[in-house]
Amino acid sequence: MIKYTANALLAALISFSNEIAQVCETIPGLDEATVMEGVHLDCRWWVDNGRGQRKHPGAVTYLRAGVGFGGSCFPKDVKAIFEYAEGQGAAMPLLRSVLTINEERANRVVEILTRQIGPVEGKRIAVLGLAFKPDTDDVR
């Protein structure tokens, strides 16, 4: 349950970032990265490392928009905790939204790309940074 909960929280941070990105995409000259850089400056995201030094916790790295979350754990863990809870009669509207946002984000990215370059059919498009975590070549 701890692993499922931790992964569901990180997935929620990613979905939140993607939802903020959707708003930023409607404001000329503004992007999600700029907004999130400002959010990261908020001292409530900083923790004491035990030596009197303050640093960002790892969760802050999940406050970045992209094409959604993937990998081998986030999708299945969020679905597992969601489906179990629903089966027990516990409504999970937040996790339902996390899953919905994630499912819709890839299409949104394609819509943005299509607006920028026209139809994508027949075009060669490079996707950089597709791996689901740093220093891995796993693209699940």
Higher-confidence position of 44 and 110: 110
Q: How many structural domains are present in the chain?
A: 1
Residue 73 is among the residues annotated as catalytic for this protein: yes
Angle at which helices 32-40 and 2-24 pack, to 10 degrees?
130
pTM of the model as a whole = 0.79
> Which candidate in 14, 35, 73, 109 is catalytic?
73
Q: Does residue 28 belong to any structural domain of this protein?
A: yes
Q: Does residue 20 belong to any structural domain of this protein?
A: yes
Q: Does residue 37 belong to any structural domain of this protein?
A: yes
Q: Does residue 35 belong to any structural domain of this protein?
A: yes
pLDDT digits (tens, 9 = 90+) for 17-73: 999 999 999 999 998 889 988 888 887 777 776 676 677 666 677 788 888 888 788
Domain that holds residue 18: 2-117
In order, the DSSP letters of 61-89 are: GG---SS---TTTHHHHHHHHHHHHHHTT
Q: Does residue 126 belong to any structural domain of this protein?
A: no
- The domain that holds 48 is classified in CATH as 1.10.1040.10
Q: Does residue 138 belong to any structural domain of this protein?
A: no
